[in-house]
Amino acid sequence: MFDVAAFNADLDSASPIPRCKAALKAADAYLDKQFHAGAEARDLIRLRARFMDSLLGALYERQPWPEAFALVAVGGYGRGELHPHSDVDILLLTGEDCEACREPIEAFLTLLWDIGLDVGHSVRTVAECRDKAAGDITILTNLMEARVIRGSEALMAEVSEAISPDHMWPIGEFFRAKMEEQETRHNKYADTEYNLEPNVKGSPGGLRDLQVIGWIAERYFGVASLDDIPSGDFLTPDERRILHRGREFMSRVRYALHMVTGREEDRLLFDHQRALADLWGFEDGDKLAVEQFMQLYYRWALALGQLNEVLIQNFDQAILAASGDDELREINERFRTRNGYLEALDPKLFQLYPPALLEVFLLGAQDQDILGIGAPTIRLIRDNRHLIDDAFRSDPRNHKLFLDILRAPFRVTRQLRRMTRYGILGNYLPEFGRIVGQMQHDLFHAYTVDAHTLEVIQNMRHFHKPEFEERFPVSSRVARRLPKIELLYIAGLYHDIGKGRGGDHSELGAVDAERFCQLHGLLQRDTNLVVWLVKNHLLMSAVSQRKDISDPEVIQQFAEHVGDQNRLDYLLALTVADINGTNPNLWNAWRGSLLRQLYTETKRALRRGLENPVDKQVWVKETRDAAMDILEYRGFTVEELEDLWQERGEDYFLRERAEDIAWHTEAIAGHHQKDQPLVLIRSSNDSSVANATQIFIHAINTAQLFSRVCAELEQLDLSIHDARIYSANDNMTLDTFFVLDSDGSSIAEDGARLRYIREHLARSLMQDSGKPAVVQRLTPRQMKSFTIPTETRMSIDGIKNQSVLEVASPDRPGLLARIGQVFVEHDVLLQAAKIQTLGERVEDVFFITEEDDSPITDPARCEAIQQAIRDRLDKQL
């Protein structure tokens, strides 16, 4: 690929740059061609390193170097590995401070930059290498992998001797430092292999995890690389195969990322995931090609993460054993702990007594002092998991063990995660095995289906911990009084298990859940509850965020569907855990307040009796009377209030709180410039909905008003989460918007900012009421990766006698204002809106009518409105 003699013979001494650039380009083309032809990535990155050795060596030899000098490859390049766009890390090593070296060093480095290499370089003496390595584990690690390209081998030998374990960083210190490094790195990536956009180098289960093992092995065994670890207690033949195949897969992914992007890119961003799925030959089917590729990636990351865990434990045990610190504790006739880690007393335990494959996890959930499972026993579990067959799954002993794990007091989720990592949970529950590593290609679901499921159960566990009471005040109280907590966990385990099969995952999951409950001997009433929860796990979230839960008829319908308080309690706990386990950024006090309101009103309906629904007129009268009591205390007469309220429909009194009606009424009565808008604002502390800032607008009712308000609020970097629109008979509107900051957080209690928002809105609404200036802002990178067409649906709400328009679309700046413009163009009146942003996607609901307040019934007109919205939004995207 690169002939040094020919290169030197052809090199123009005056201008070597074109020849070097041509050689680099030719090398890239050759290696990429070999990649597409199926060559192993490991061979290609080694070949690139050898090519770079030849190129740098040829250029090095053109300079007048002193005898005591060396060009040294360090880091990954020192290992003899170089991905297409990785930095070329070199050390220019000199025996002592060398003033005469300055000029050739500058000339050499300038030439490397001129030919387009990304060079990471340092110039150090042997003494400087020693001193810096002694104080920095990263520098030490780089030097451990160093090799001489050209120059003095003796100098590098001095460095190697100076940094050896006999002189610095003995194996115990080195091991602990590397473990701290790894923990910090894993925490950076949320300590999971299942990041939406994982880093193939740094994420858990990535290439760095393998390199850490290699560095420790080099320090402990004195071997040159991970490949040289002797087989036996530290690395079994099976693990060696996993190591080689997994490293090849990850190296191939990283090579492909560099090749596809044309730069050093180690992040599997959404756009790149699609490109790599094409390279791997996946095609869309029941699952998207990208989901198939990412499931393959996640399963390899999981396998390599497990390998890292096992080998790290082996090193840990070896280091402890060497110091004589082993602590043994008998647990029962089958298990003991060594230094806090469970180990089987008999290497044939699982063959002789297969239920121990579950018992080992139960012990970890019953004893707080057990830190985990020892590496030898993890290997035994892995080697014997095939024993979990139909007979094992039908054994009542195993049914009891599994249910006991769910009922255990400590670290239940941790045991379920270990069971997943070691292949036990997927074998015991084959339906769970099918979702391991299954991603959902969107920004709404932050985890793969299996990781999400375990996050949901973790959240359920959090409800019982005092430190989570502030975040989940209602759910915590409700969960603690559930009679059988394991039923909640089973529902959590099965609620999404039907995903990826096509069809309604709730229905599919309910079938699996019923089979599980019957097999495990649950009472019929408990089975019925679990099946109902799985079928309805999305219901409470949908009603709270997509229905008008201030309407007593909506509450009555929901209460009739739920049926009793027990179901309501379990459903609330499952819903809150599910939302938080889908994407932690989705949960805020706004969603919490909606669920709390729905739960409380449904609880009242159930207590009152489903046969005694609330009469709307009674509800309206009670609200009016309560508001009158407040306002009479402030000097209003009944006659004045009746006059102020005579133009308002009953919907206003049905949906608004008495305190808010009093607030609106008092301000309107004192606002004498009727041609100018009245804007009121309440901070999140005073708002009727927790966390949300409440904005009330009383203004002349113009067709463009909703669109203008949406555009102005977005200019103010605010996001609308609820909109209540009332049109009074005096051609005035009473609109309430509940808003948060654009990132979903509550607006800080800053009086100056709240005043600015109010003044800005009042000023902008007084201006010409022409078409609003829709905000123009770049769509975020991640959202550009999800160009799913807008979906719309219209129906009639029989309770409210209004049309319901549902819009599901990729989020983008100005979306609500554009929808408002379509309403204007089609003479549609907006009565209310429920706004919901789910990651990169919005799912908004609009309650709309004709100009005479009747629902829109003409099918052609309904389709025209929907088509206009789809065209407007998709054209923008």
Give 247-285 pLDDT, tens digit per residue: 999 999 999 999 999 999 999 988 899 999 999 999 988
Average pLDDT in the 192-198 region?
A: 82
Q: Is the pLDDT of residue 442 over 60?
A: no
Residue 381 lies in a domain: no
Do residue 688 and residue 568 come from a single domain? no
At 815, list the tokens: 């979306």
Do residue 165 and residue 201 come from a single domain? no
Do residue 122 and residue 160 come from a single domain? yes
Residues 6 or more apart in contact with residue 714 via CB below 8 angstroms: 775, 813, 814, 816, 817
What is the domain range of residue 469? 449-608
Residue 202 lies in a domain: yes
What is the DSSP code string of 91-129?
EEEESS--GGGHHHHHHHHHHHHHTT--EEEEEEEHHHH
Phi-psi region of 853 (alpha: psi -120 to 50; beta: other; left: phi over 0): left
Residue 330 lies in a domain: no
Do residue 602 and residue 636 come from a single domain? no
Residue 335 lies in a domain: no
Per-residue pLDDT tens for 91-129? 999 988 777 788 999 999 999 999 999 999 999 999 999
Do residue 700 and residue 768 come from a single domain? yes
Question: Per-residue confidence at 321, pLDDT binned at 50, 70, 90?
Answer: low
For 550, what's the count of Cα atoms within 13 Å in the CB-facing half-sphere? 19
Return the pLDDT at 774.
56
Of 72-76, 166-170, 806-810, the range with the lowest mean pLDDT is: 806-810
Of 292-301, 370-379, 492-501, 644-653, the range with the lowest mean pLDDT is: 644-653
pTM: 0.80
Do residue 773 and residue 862 come from a single domain? yes
Output DSSP code: residue 748.
Answer: P
Residue 783 lies in a domain: yes
Of 142-151, 308-317, 355-364, 588-597, the range with the lowest mean pLDDT is: 588-597
What is the rounded CA–CA span in Å between residue 213 and residue 408? 34
Question: Per-residue confidence at 3, pLDDT binned at 50, 70, 90?
Answer: low
Per-residue pLDDT tens for 854-864? 999 999 999 99
Return the pLDDT at 562.
96
Q: Is the pLDDT of residue 439 over 90?
A: no
Question: Per-residue confidence at 194, pLDDT binned at 50, 70, 90?
Answer: confident
Return the pLDDT at 45.
96
Per-residue pLDDT tens for 696-722? 999 888 878 888 888 888 888 888 877
Do residue 48 and residue 102 come from a single domain? yes
Return the pLDDT at 876.
62
Q: Is the pLDDT of residue 675 over 70?
A: yes
Residue 580 lies in a domain: yes
Return the pLDDT at 322.
64
Return the pLDDT at 488.
97
Residue 240 lies in a domain: yes
Segments in 262-342 forming alpha helices (H): 270-279, 289-322
Residue matched to tokens 């989705």 = 586
Number of domains the chain is built from: 4
Do residue 539 and residue 634 come from a single domain? no
Return the pLDDT at 829.
86
Return the pLDDT at 8.
56
Do residue 598 and residue 674 come from a single domain? no
Which of the listed residues 564, 584, 608 is the one where a domain comes to its end? 608
- pLDDT over 90 for what percent of the chain? 54
Return the pLDDT at 220.
86
CB 790 within 8 A of CB 874: yes
Return the pLDDT at 443.
53
Residues 6 or more apart in contact with residue 424 via CB below 8 angstroms: 357, 358, 361, 381, 385, 388, 418
Q: Which residue has the higher pLDDT, 324 or 70?
A: 70
At 145, list the tokens: 């992998």
Do residue 602 and residue 661 come from a single domain? no
Question: Per-residue confidence at 501, pLDDT binned at 50, 70, 90?
Answer: confident
Which of the listed residues 588, 608, 628 is the one where a domain comes to its end? 608
Beta bridge partners of 724: 736, 832
Rounded mean pLDDT of the chain? 87
| Cα of 347 vs its chain's centroid, Å | 39
CB 54 within 8 A of CB 23: no
What is the rounded CA–CA span in Å between residue 713 and residue 698? 16
Average pLDDT in the 447-474 region?
A: 90
CB 375 within 8 A of CB 445: no
At 809, list the tokens: 């679309």
Average pLDDT in the 869-873 region?
A: 88
Question: Per-residue confidence at 526, pLDDT binned at 50, 70, 90?
Answer: very high
Do residue 146 and residue 185 come from a single domain? no
Return the pLDDT at 844.
85
Per-residue pLDDT tens for 216-254? 988 888 877 777 777 777 888 888 899 999 999 999 999
Q: Is the pLDDT of residue 390 over 90?
A: yes
Here the CATH number for the domain that contains residue 228 is 1.20.120.330
Beta bridge partners of 125: 94
What is the rounded CA–CA span in Å between residue 437 and residue 221? 35
Q: Is the pLDDT of residue 837 over 80?
A: no
Do residue 197 and residue 218 come from a single domain? yes
Residue 423 lies in a domain: no
Q: Which residue has the higher pLDDT, 324 or 398?
A: 398
Which candidate, 339, 465, 355, places its Cα nearest to that of 412?
Answer: 465
Q: Which residue has the higher pLDDT, 629 or 684?
A: 629
Which of the listed residues 264, 289, 324 is the one where a domain comes to its end? 324
What is the rounded CA–CA span in Å between residue 711 and residue 815? 9
Average pLDDT in the 421-445 region?
A: 84
- pLDDT over 70 for what percent of the chain? 91
What is the rounded CA–CA span in Å between residue 95 and residue 85? 31
